[in-house]
């Protein structure tokens, strides 16, 4: 069982047990609470009616005729009262009175039972003793739905208790509200439990996501991919990720130096050999024109070494960058116009024309120096492989969602051999130029690729439909430092 499943299962178990205990406690506590709420108004009612009864006392006896007429009218008069979702159509109150000995003298519900002894009922018994009298009795033994609560108050005359008036209210109405409340609590509890479960799924993912991201990162590093440390939040996982990144940087640094030393040694060996051979020959007597030719070779190879070193240093600085900080609002059209001016001698020499199509502005965000270097290398490649007198087409456009700026550079050269399509971005890999038959430093497209990666864009190089090569540089319009 993975960590995400364990977290979700733990949340589910806690929620189920917690809500089961909560619902059980609430539903068991509702009934006594309703009984408390029911008893309080019965106290008021019994006190009020006892005072009314006291006003009818003559010679120590209560005149019950008034109550008979009043309750006959109350019970027989139709009415309808909507109490929230419950519709009430009859009066449930039961009122009875006893004399000072506890003998029944009036009952609003049970006529003809006058004379029965109620003195042992708790409501009558305690009231006659001057205490608070209350009782709950089931009219049908064993059926809690027939319970009736009675609250009694003394009927006083000249300071003496001459009788008891007790008001009863069946629990069936309260039971309806209790059951309704219980059902609502269960429904709400189920909804809340489902909500917690729904929240628990993304919560467990949120907890395990940094671990998965770190695992993916570690595997990518193992495969030698150039990948930045993913966002890991502010937890201990972030500290672990930082430790991974420090270890990776240390290991990469050692490997990086080794690779570059080997590459530089390999590439510089040939021009150094040429220079050494020319110098040895110059020590001999030879005609001035041959000396001039060898001096020219020395300058050419020296320039080649300097170009290799400069580009290698630039590429090394770009590859060592983790992110870009010098971000500005750029205009692709202006960048191309500036490059066209600086490369005018090369274009004039081969009688080439740069033709810009599409959006001449092409605004986006990026590092001005690095973007210019990337575009320069793409245009130089197109110049090197274009036949004299041809046209280099450049198109500036936006992606369908307007989230990226796209620069397409097309030449009319011979195109890229199939075997070279997957190697053109490798350091020091280069194809012979059609004009001179010589190779370049092989660092230009590597530099373009690294600049593109730093800007979170992409570079594509393919052959044209009829002839030539097409380079497609895609950069985000809004630069984000988050990877």
The answer to whether residues 237 and 214 touch, using CB atoms and an 8 Å cutoff, is yes
pLDDT digits (tens, 9 = 90+) for 333-348: 888 888 888 888 888 8
Whether 334 and 298 map to the same domain: the answer is: no
Query: How are beta strands 94-99 and 104-107 bridged, if at all?
Result: antiparallel
Q: Give the per-residue pLDDT at 350.
A: 87
Of the chain, the end-to-end C-alpha distance in Å amounts to 31
Whether 328 and 299 map to the same domain: the answer is: no
Structure tokens belonging to residue 97? 């009175």
Residue 303 clears pLDDT 80, i.e. is over it: no
Q: Give the per-residue pLDDT at 473.
A: 92
Whether 273 and 343 map to the same domain: the answer is: no
* Any domain includes 210: no
Whether 316 and 332 map to the same domain: the answer is: no
Residue 122 clears pLDDT 90, i.e. is over it: yes
Average pLDDT rounded to a whole number, residues 247-255: 53
Whether 329 and 344 map to the same domain: the answer is: yes
Residue 362 clears pLDDT 70, i.e. is over it: yes
* Any domain includes 185: no
* Any domain includes 197: no
Residue 410 sits in a domain whose CATH number is 3.30.565.10
Residue 54 clears pLDDT 80, i.e. is over it: yes
Q: How many domains does the chain have?
A: 3
Whether 316 and 329 map to the same domain: the answer is: no
Whether 56 and 153 map to the same domain: the answer is: yes
Last residue of a domain, one of 150, 179, 208: 179
Q: Which structural domain, as residue segments, surrounds residue 256?
A: 252-320
Residue 353 burial (CB count, 10 A): 12
Whether 301 and 435 map to the same domain: the answer is: no
pLDDT digits (tens, 9 = 90+) for 192-201: 777 777 777 7
Which residues fall within 8 angstroms of residue 452, CB to CB, at 6 or more apart?
Answer: 374, 458, 459, 473, 474, 475
Q: Give the per-residue pLDDT at 410.
A: 92
pLDDT digits (tens, 9 = 90+) for 388-427: 888 999 999 888 887 889 999 999 888 888 888 888 877 6
Q: Give the per-residue pLDDT at 347.
A: 87
Residue 271 sits in a domain whose CATH number is 1.10.287.130
Which residues fall within 8 angstroms of residue 419, CB to CB, at 6 or more apart?
Answer: none
Whether 259 and 174 map to the same domain: the answer is: no
What sign results for the dihedral spanned by CA atoms 377, 382, 384, 389?
negative
Residue 44 sits in a domain whose CATH number is 3.30.450.20
pLDDT digits (tens, 9 = 90+) for 13-52: 777 787 777 777 766 666 667 677 778 889 999 999 999 9
Residue 366 burial (CB count, 10 A): 26
Whether 333 and 309 map to the same domain: the answer is: no
Residue 117, strand partner residues: 103
The answer to whether residues 302 and 354 touch, using CB atoms and an 8 Å cutoff, is no
Whether 155 and 267 map to the same domain: the answer is: no
The pTM (predicted TM-score) of the whole model is 0.43
> What CA–CA distance (Å, rounded) separates 426 from 444?
10
Last residue of a domain, one of 133, 160, 179: 179
Last residue of a domain, one of 179, 194, 228: 179
* Any domain includes 229: no
pLDDT digits (tens, 9 = 90+) for 427-458: 667 777 776 666 666 677 877 888 888 888 89
pLDDT digits (tens, 9 = 90+) for 78-121: 888 887 777 888 888 899 999 999 999 999 988 888 899 999 99
* Any domain includes 247: no
């Amino acid at each position: 069982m993975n960590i995400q499943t364990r977290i979700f299962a733990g949340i589910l178990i806690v929620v189920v047990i917690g809500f089961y205990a909560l619902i059980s406690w609430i539903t068991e506590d509702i009934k006594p609470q309703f009984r408390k709420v029911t008893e309080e108004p019965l106290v008021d009612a019994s006190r009020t009616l006892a005072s009314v009864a006291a006003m009818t006392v003559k010679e120590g006896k209560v005149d019950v005729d008034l109550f008979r007429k009043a309750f006959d009218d109350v019970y027989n008069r139709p009415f309808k009262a909507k109490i929230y979702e419950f519709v009430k159509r009859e009066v449930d109150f039961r009122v009875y009175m006893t004399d000072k000995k506890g003998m029944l003298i009036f009952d609003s519900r049970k006529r003809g039972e006058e004379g029965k002894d109620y003195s042992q009922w708790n409501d009558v018994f305690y009231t006659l003793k001057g205490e608070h009298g209350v009782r709950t009795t089931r009219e049908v033994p064993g059926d809690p739905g027939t319970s009736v609560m009675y609250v009694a108050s003394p009927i006083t005359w000249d300071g003496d208790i001459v009788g008891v008036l007790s008001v009863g209210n069946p629990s069936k109405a309260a039971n309806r509200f209790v059951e309704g409340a219980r059902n609502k609590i269960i429904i709400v509890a189920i909804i809340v439990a489902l909500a917690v479960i729904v929240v628990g799924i993304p919560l467990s993912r949120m907890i395990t996501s940094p671990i998965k991201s770190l695992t993916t990162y570690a595997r990518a590093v193992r495969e030698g991919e150039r990948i930045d440390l993913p966002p890991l939040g502010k937890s201990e996982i972030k500290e672990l990720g930082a430790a991974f990144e420090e270890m990776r940087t240390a290991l990469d640094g050692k490997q990086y130096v080794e690779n570059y030393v080997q590459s530089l040694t390999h590439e510089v060996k040939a021009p150094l050999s040429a220079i050494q051979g020319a110098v040895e020959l110059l020590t001999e007597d030879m005609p001035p024109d041959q000396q001039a030719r060898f001096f020219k070779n020395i300058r050419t190879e020296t320039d080649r070494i300097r170009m290799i070193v400069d580009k290698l240093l630039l590429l090394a600085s770009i590859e060592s960058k983790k992110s870009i900080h010098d971000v500005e609002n750029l205009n692709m059209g202006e960048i191309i116009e500036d490059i066209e001016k600086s490369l005018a001698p090369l274009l004039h020499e081969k009688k080439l024309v740069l033709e810009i199509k599409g959006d001449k502005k092409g605004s986006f965000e990026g590092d001005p120096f690095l973007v210019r270097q990337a575009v320069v290398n793409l245009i130089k490649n197109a110049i090197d492989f274009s036949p004299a007198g041809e046209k280099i087409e450049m198109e500036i456009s936006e992606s369908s969602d307007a989230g990226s700026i796209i620069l397409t550079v097309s030449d009319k050269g011979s195109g890229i051999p199939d075997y070279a399509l997957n190697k053109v971005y490798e350091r020091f890999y280069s194809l012979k130029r059609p004009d001179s038959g010589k190779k370049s430093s092989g660092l230009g497209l590597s530099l373009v690729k690294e600049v593109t990666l730093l800007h979170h864009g992409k570079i594509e190089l393919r052959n044209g439909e009829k002839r030539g090569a097409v380079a497609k540089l895609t950069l985000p319009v809004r630069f984000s430092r988050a990877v």
